[in-house]
């Protein structure tokens, strides 16, 4: 039995320094706690509520920064892609390529991610049932790629609200692939802030504990040195300086679940 892998980092790459610093801090924390760590940050927020919101450094500069994080700190990196072309290019740098929830049904994108032969992390769309993920898995498998992660990030529940259905973690694990619980997007209130998404960060620790008690392979947590000033997802990101305590708490539940 392996401890959970932490996939974490700021929602978007705000700058080279910020990415490196945050990654370095998280690496120190996870090394100390014995938690395998993958750095996550987006180079392009392609589906912001508002077109006036910050999107990130873009593909080229973003990959360059992620490559530097990867090399400097010797850690795997994850980012999300939005087109088959991006998948191919990003696959040269990334260890894990993420398919965004809204795009999880776009066949060409799914196949292109599969073709990279890198690990594919599929975020289950807010509009999908847990068993609907089987078809996405089949698309990926058709490329010969069986390195697949399946992420729960909440299901649509009325308007401007998501609900985390923990049955989903169990059902998706029946595919045989590792299941990830996306803690901070699961507490998002999509569109609830009018021109951006709101969130209920206060529920993140409870849902993270719950997910480890159900049983997961990985937790996905967005974190930022100063969420109030963050350029995206400020309502849901966890302050970096709260991460050590949070991870320590969660790890105890994960260890218990796995008999570690």
Burial class for 71, CB neighbours closer than 10 Å (0-12, 13-18, 19+): exposed
77 or 187: whose CB is closer to its own copies?
187
Eight-class DSSP state of 12: B
State the nearest-atom distance from the C-beta of 21 to its own copies, in Å: 28
Q: Which is nearer to its own copies, 17 or 159 (CB)?
A: 159
> Which residue, 2 or 127, has its beta carbon nearer to its own copies?
127
**Of residues 78 and 110, the one with the C-beta less far from its own copies:** 110
| CA–CA separation, 55 and 46 (whole Å) | 7
Nearer to its own copies, 25 or 83 (CB): 83
Three-class DSSP category at 81: coil
Q: What's the rounded Cα separation, in Å, for the pair 238 and 102? A: 23
User: Hey, what are 43's tokens?
Assistant: 């180079």
Site residues, its own copies (CB under 8 A): 46-51, 55, 82-83, 102-103, 105-108, 110-111, 125-132, 135, 138-139, 142, 155-161, 163-167, 169-170, 187, 190-191, 195, 200, 202-203, 206-207, 209-215, 252-253, 256-257
- DSSP H/E element including 250: helix 243-258
Q: How far is the CB of 239 from its own copies (least distance, A)?
A: 19
For residue 211, the minimal CB distance to its own copies (Å) is 7
For residues 211 and 219, what is the distance between their CA atoms, to the nearest angstrom?
Answer: 8
The span from the CA of 39 to the CA of 210, in Å, is: 23
In angstroms, what is the minimal distance from the CB of 237 to its own copies? 18
CB of 71 to its own copies, least distance (A): 29
100, 123 contact by CB (below 8 A): yes
């Amino acid at each position: 039995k392996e401890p959970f892998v932490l996939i974490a980092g700021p929602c978007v790459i705000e700058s080279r320094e910020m990415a490196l610093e945050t990654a370095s801090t998280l690496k120190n924390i996870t090394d100390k706690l014995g938690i395998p760590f993958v750095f996550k940050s987006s180079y392009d927020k392609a589906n912001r509520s508002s077109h006036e919101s910050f999107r990130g450094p873009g593909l080229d500069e973003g990959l360059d920064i992620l490559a530097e994080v990867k090399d400097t700190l010797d850690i795997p990196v994850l980012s999300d892609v939005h087109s088959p072309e991006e998948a191919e290019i990003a696959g040269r740098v990334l260890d894990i390529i993420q398919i965004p929830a809204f795009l999880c049904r776009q066949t060409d994108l799914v196949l292109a991610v599969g073709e990279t032969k890198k690990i594919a992390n599929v975020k289950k769309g807010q509009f999908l049932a847990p068993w609907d993920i089987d078809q996405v898995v089949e698309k990926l498998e058709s490329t010969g790629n069986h390195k697949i992660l399946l992420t729960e990030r909440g299901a649509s529940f009325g308007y401007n609200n998501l609900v985390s259905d923990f049955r989903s973690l169990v059902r998706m694990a029946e595919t045989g692939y590792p299941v990830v619980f996306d803690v901070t997007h699961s507490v998002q209130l999509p569109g609830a802030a009018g021109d951006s998404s709101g969130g209920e960060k206060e529920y993140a620790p409870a849902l993270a504990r719950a997910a480890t008690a159900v049983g997961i392979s990985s937790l996905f947590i967005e974190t930022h040195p100063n969420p109030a000033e963050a350029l995206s997802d400020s309502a849901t990101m966890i302050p970096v300086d709260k991460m050590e305590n949070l991870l320590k708490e969660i790890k105890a539940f994960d260890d218990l679940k796995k008999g570690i």
